[in-house]
Structure formats: C-alpha cells, structure tokens
Amino acid sequence: MSVNDEKDVRSDEDTIHQFAAPASYFELTNEEQGRILQFQQEVLELVVLGNDYREICEKVCLLIEQLLEDAVATVMLLDKEKQCMNVFAAPSVPEACIVQLNGLRPGPDSGSCGNAVFRQEAVFIESTLDDPRWQSIRQLAIDFNILSCWSMPVRSKGGECIGSFALSSFVRRLPNTYHRKLLEIGSFIIGIALEQQKVNEQLNLSSKVFENSAEAILITDANKVIIAINKALNKLTGYAEKDVLGKSVSIMLSKRHSSKFFQKIWASVKQFNHWQGEIWNRDKHKREYPAWFNITPVRSHDDSINYYLINFSDITDKKRSDEIIWRQANYDSLTGLPNRNMFYDRLNQSIKNAARLETKLAVLFIDLDRFKEVNDSFGHSVGDALLVEAAKRLNSCVRETDTVARLGGDEFTIILSGINDQQSAEIIIQTILLELVKPFNLGTKLAYVSASIGVTYFPDDANSADLLMKNADQAMYAAKNNGRNCWSCFTSNMRVATKIRSKTAYELRSALRDHQLFLLYQPIVELVSGNVYKAEALIRWQHPERGTIGPDEFISIAEETNLITDIGDWVFKQAVNQAIVWQETFNIGFQISINKSPKQFISKMSDWVNYLNRLGINGQSIVVEITENLLLDAHELVVKQLLNYRDAGVQVAIDDFGTGYSSLSYLKKFDIDYLKIDQSFIANLDNESNDRILCEAIITMAHRLGMKVIAEGVETNSQKQLLKAMGCDYGQGYFFSKPLPADRFEAFIQHQV
C-alpha cells in the first residue's frame, strides 16, 4: 500500500481505523531513523544485561513517551485464563486510570487494547469520544482526556497474542509512519523481554532443581567426560567438582562390571533414548554401593548426542529393606525356618525334580503334643523358646538337602527329598521322635513335649502339593488319636474317613432342625445315702441311616463347624425343662449337669441365665461341667460367663479332673463347686494301687477347698465302697445305671425309692 493510498483510506470515516501495513524504514526521515535506532539500542542493552522484565517494559514506555509528545504508553497482558487484561507497565498513567483498566475483557467495544487482542491486529483509533470500539470504556476517555489511542498486539515467541502495547494521546490524531514504527518495535521488544523472562525463569528453576535435587546428578559431554555435578552428588560420593570435572564418568563406577556390561548400557541409551537400572558405584573412599541409574541423552537438531544427563541414588537401604521384606514373606521370624509360603514353593519344586528324576519324596506334618499346656503353665516366652529349640532339633535330624518349615503355632513340616524307599524316611522320623521327647531345658524351666507325625509319599499317595499336605495332615491326626508321641503313615482309609467326616458335618446341620438329637440321663448317686438327686444329661444323635451315634463322633465336628453353640443351647433348654419336671415329681433340689464346650464360651456370651430367670427357676438346678484346661485359657468371655454363673447360683463342675494341668488358684477364683475324678483313676482302683492314693488326695484337697467330689466310671461295688470310705461324695457309672431316656430314668428313681 502506498502513502497516497493510505491517505485516501484515512479520509474515509468508516475505514479510517483499520490495520495499517508495517511501517518501512525507507519512509522515515534520517532523524526519525536515528531516534528509533537509539531507542532500540537502549532497550536491547537492558535485555542483554538481564534486567528485570517489568523494568524493561517500563523503560520502553518512558522512551517512547519522550519520542511522542502529549502521549502515555501502556503495556497490558492477558491473565492465565486468557479472559481478562491487566495493566503490566504504565509508568506515566494515573493509578485511578489503571484501576479502571484492570480486568478489561477483549472484545469489539473494549477500546483500542481490547480490540487489538480481540482482532489479533493493530488498531488505530483517531477519536475515542465517538468511535464505537470505545463504547464500553468511553467514560475512561472522558475522565482522563484520552482523545486518541493506538494499540498493537504483543506476541510470544510462538506468535501467540499475550497482550497489547498502546499509546494514548491527549490530542486527537492518527499515527504516522514514525509512530507506527515505534509501536511495532516497542511491542516486539516487549515480547522479547517477556519471552526472555520466561526462559530465565525456566533456567533458574532448572538450576534450582539441578542443585537441590535429592538425587545425584551429573552431566557429561558426548564422550562421557563430566562437565557438571550437583550438591547431592558431592554429598553422596564425596567427590567435589575439582575431583571429577574433565574426567570420565567411569571414575565413579565399580570394577565389578565388565566392559561389555557398560557397552550394552550405552547402546541402549542411543537406541531407546533412555536407560535405567542398577549399577554398582564407588565413592571417593573406594566404598562400593548399589545405585539406581537413569541415563538420558541430550540431542542436537541433527539428532546427534551432545550431552548425557545422568542421575542416580544409593539404594543400599532399599535393598536391605527389600531383603527384610522378602525374609518376612518367606521365613518364620521366631525360628528362622521357611514359612508356609516358602515351604509350598520348595515343595512344588521338589515335586518337579522328583518327577524328572523318577525318585520319591516324603512330606512330614509334625504337631507338638501338649505344647499348649507348656504355654499356659510357663507363659508364652517359654513357649517361644521351646519352639526355637524344637526347630534346631528338627534341623539336626535331617539332611542338608531337606527342608524344615514352620507353618505356624506348634506345627512343623519337613520335605525329605530323594527318598529311595520308605525305610529311609522312617529312620529320620524315629530320630525326630526321640529328639523331641527329650526334656527342654529353658532357663529355669524344664518342659516336656512329644510329637505326633503324619507322613505321606510322592508319587505313591498324591502328585500335588495340596493333596500331599492334606494327606500328611490326616496322618498326623491319626497319630494323635493313636496316643501321641508316634507317627502314622497316610492310607487310603484316612481319605475315606475324611469323606465320612465331611458327610457327617453336612448331615449334622439338619439334625437339630429335624429333631434327630435327644438326651439320655445318667444318675449321680450320693454314696452315703444312696439317694439320687442329680443326673448328667448326655446327648445322642438318632441318625436316619446309621442309627444311634454317640457324641464322640460328632461333637468335635460341631465345634469345627460352629454348630456347637446352637446344639449346646438346645441341650441346656431341654435339661432345664426336664429339671423343672423332676423337681416337681421327686425333689425340689434336683440338679441336672450339662457339658459345655470351650467353643461355646468364646463364640458368644450365653443367655442361659436370662432363660432361667424367665422361667423363674433356681440357678442351682443346673450344673455346668467344663474341662480344667478351660480355666487356664482365662479368656475374657470365659471369665465373664463363669462369674455370671456364680452370681446367678449356677454351679460349676470340673470334668475329667486329673487328666490335664490344674491350678488351685483358678479353682478358688471361679468358685468351683464339684470335681469329677476321671474314670481312668477309678478303673484300676483297689487298696494297693497308686490310683487309690491319687483319688484320696483329690478328695481331701477338694473338701478343704469347699468342693464336693463325683467319681466317674464306677463299675463295681468294690470301687464304690473304697470311694465311700475315702469320703467321696457322689458316684456315677454303670454300677449304678447306664444313661437312660427320661421315662426309664423316672422308673429308675421310683425303684430306688
């Protein structure tokens, strides 16, 4: 566009304010060119010297104001959301005007600056008082005598509009070529200053990150020669800049790795533009340590590598933590033996090896007999010490190729690999039994345990880890049932027995619902008078196919399946209702004893006392029989229920007394009413037997503690007379009567009367 053409455009009122082409230096006078060059030189010098970018923008404004009379310069920038403009630099503009300008939204009626940003082009407005593009901020022009205003977009390096640079005149006029050139150069330099500030901020941030990074960082040239390090590297390795600058990065690397190892690393960096992994490092004092490395190449425009950025950290603690975590996941913290997780891993591996080599292996499941009694009597610290010693003894009995593991509690397992015949395994098993039966000298305590061992063989019995473990577990329980301190080899009959047990558990669920359970009552006879004012309620199961089943076959299953609580509650209510009948028929003080499983105590709080209260029956109508080991557990629920029984008048008897660990303090604490001497002491009772001495001692002790004694398993008149002579209070057994249904029990009582 020529100068004459431009004059023609200006004469047209509708188009006078359109964007004009960039001004050319050839249209300027020599004086104007000199002023502009001087202006550029002064401002660019500030940029080169790194002055604050706000100061540079204000300097641009002031210099241009000197070159254009009756005008003020303003720099406005868009906010982060690109929605509003705010004054950034305006050294000669009144504060009141700045306040009104802040928050300006770009648009077609938002003045010269708002239009310049909105249209992304220069806007020259000759008259602000009547131009429609100043409509929304007209009052600003009136208040501050702004008669004309010229504005040009300020752009970033990428060409994005980030704000405006404007000249506001107190005289109505349009810019000439000189003025437009000033605006162009001013907006351009402001863009450069703002862009440079961004670069400076990024460089400053990068520098801070580099210096303050917790990881050691070094930069090398393309030949892996170190050119920079940070503080963290100095702190980690002890190397200062003077020690490593100009030297190969290999100065920090351990000699553990071969040259091929590093060749692969650098090849990977070139191919994939990154490598990370573990490398053994070496510090200034020659200490070697594991480090985690990240290596990234810095490439030039032609894709050649100029630098390498390397950062690393000492992972000694992490590897130590990983080792601890791994050991915790795979080894028992108490004994140091492999745990369940590691045991199964080794068992699966041993099965594969045995299958490949066509050899056998044996799996032993070991449970310590009466370990709980040691724990209860001496405390858990002694119990733990026993487990540690037991682990040592087990390890001493096997070969180095075998695996001893602790599954938990007092359960151990052993893998005997490479067994050619069962006799080889049996020799080791016998050695284990002999070792574990020896006394355990645990400081000031001397403890005795034994072991029940189940054994199964691969591939004879099973070919998977799970089946082998099930087999060994079943064989171990068979050893328990055979009297403990022995071993049992798995047989197919055990699997059948397990299936029968599972079937029994399934059928037991419907036994109570279908009224298949019933009670028998065995008389408890007062030995001095022969009177019967007591009976023990004994449960039976009338199975539709198998006939009558005794409690020995299903009570343990009921405990395992948590059916024992519902069954126990049913027994209690049946016994209470029967006691009411016999109190009305025979004697107001008639009592019925019922057995209560330890599982019933710890499953939930029983509401038996509330049931007695609702019926209005005396608590002494019921005697609850428990085992002496229950008192040693001292579980919170056990204590609470026993004390609850005592307060309600319900009496408590210790069943099978003498077969477990007893504590006289517990007998007094819980106000025990009866001791029932186990039938094993009665079976061989005569004048010369040790059993007579034991029975007499129990009776004497019980009486002195305010308890009465019931002898179980009385089968002869001789036993009855001996017990009577010792002062035993009551007798119970086949000599008097077998357990009877309620109607036959009533007939028995009437016959006695």
| 97-106 long-range contacts, CB within 8 A, separation 24+ | 97/140, 97/143, 97/144, 100/137, 100/140, 100/143, 101/74, 101/76, 101/137, 101/140, 104/76, 104/137, 106/78
Whether the pLDDT of residue 14 is over 50: the answer is no
176 — phi, psi (to 5°)? -90, -175
CA 318, CA 321: separation in Å to the nearest integer? 5
Write the pLDDT tens digit of every residue in 41-74.
777 777 777 677 888 888 889 988 988 889 999 9
User: Is 3-203 CATH 3.30.450.40?
Assistant: yes
Mean pLDDT of 207-234: 83
202 — pLDDT class (breaks 50, 70, 90) = confident
Average model confidence (pLDDT) across the chain: 86
pLDDT at 606: 62
pLDDT tens digit string along 593-604? Answer: 999 887 777 655
Q: Is the pLDDT of residue 639 over 80?
A: no
Structure tokens, 464:
């998977």
Strand partners for 343: none
Residue 321 is predicted with a pLDDT of 87
SS3 content of the chain, % helix, strand, coil (to 5): 50, 25, 30
CB 696 within 8 A of CB 686: no
pLDDT reported for residue 18: 33
Considering only 176-185, 354-363, 627-636, which range has the smallest mean pLDDT? 627-636
Q: What confidence category does residue 632 fall into, taking pLDDT thresholds of 50, 70 and 90? A: low
The answer to whether residues 164 and 76 touch, using CB atoms and an 8 Å cutoff, is yes
pLDDT beyond 80 at 648? yes
Where in the chain are all domains bearing CATH 3.30.450.20?
213-319
Contact present, 136 and 107 (Cβ < 8 Å): yes
Q: How far apart are alpha carbons 439 and 437 in whole angstroms? A: 6
Q: What is the pLDDT of residue 628?
A: 75
Evaluate if residue 207 carries a pLDDT over 70: no
Q: Tell me the pLDDT tens digit for each residue of 563-595.
A: 888 898 999 999 999 999 999 998 888 999 999
Specify the domain boundaries for CATH 3.20.20.450 within the chain.
506-752
Choose between 159 and 125: higher pLDDT: 125
Question: For tokens 């002195």, what's the residue?
Answer: 704
Torsion of CA 615, 619, 620, 623, to 10 degrees: 100
Average pLDDT (694-713) is 92
CATH fit for domain 213-319, picks 3.40.50.970, 3.30.450.20, 3.40.50.2300, 3.40.1160.10: 3.30.450.20
Say what the pLDDT of residue 205 is.
67
Which of 281-290, 368-377, 694-703 has the least mean pLDDT? 368-377
| Residue 634: pLDDT over 70 | no
Kindly give the residue spans of alpha helices, DSSP state H, lying in 659-716: 664-669, 679-682, 690-704
Domain with CATH 3.30.450.40 in the chain: 3-203
Mean pLDDT lowest among 341-355, 438-452, 567-581: 438-452
Residue 3 pLDDT exceeds 70: no
Which CATH class for the 331-490 domain?
Answer: alpha beta
Query: Which pLDDT score, from 0 to 100, does residue 419 have?
Result: 84
pLDDT at 635: 61
CATH code for the structural domain at 506-752? 3.20.20.450
pLDDT tens-digit map of 495-538: 777 777 778 888 888 888 899 999 999 999 999 999 999 999 99
Q: Please check the confidence at residue 106 and state whether its pLDDT lies above 80.
A: yes
* pLDDT (mean) for 542-557: 88
Q: How many CB atoms lie within 10 A of CB 715?
A: 15
pLDDT of residue 16: 28
How many Å apart are CA 363 and CA 347, to the nearest integer?
A: 9
**Where are the domain boundaries for CATH 3.30.70.270 in the chain?**
331-490
Q: Tokens in use for 710?
A: 């019931």
Check if the beta carbon of residue 716 is closer than 8 Å to that of residue 492.
no
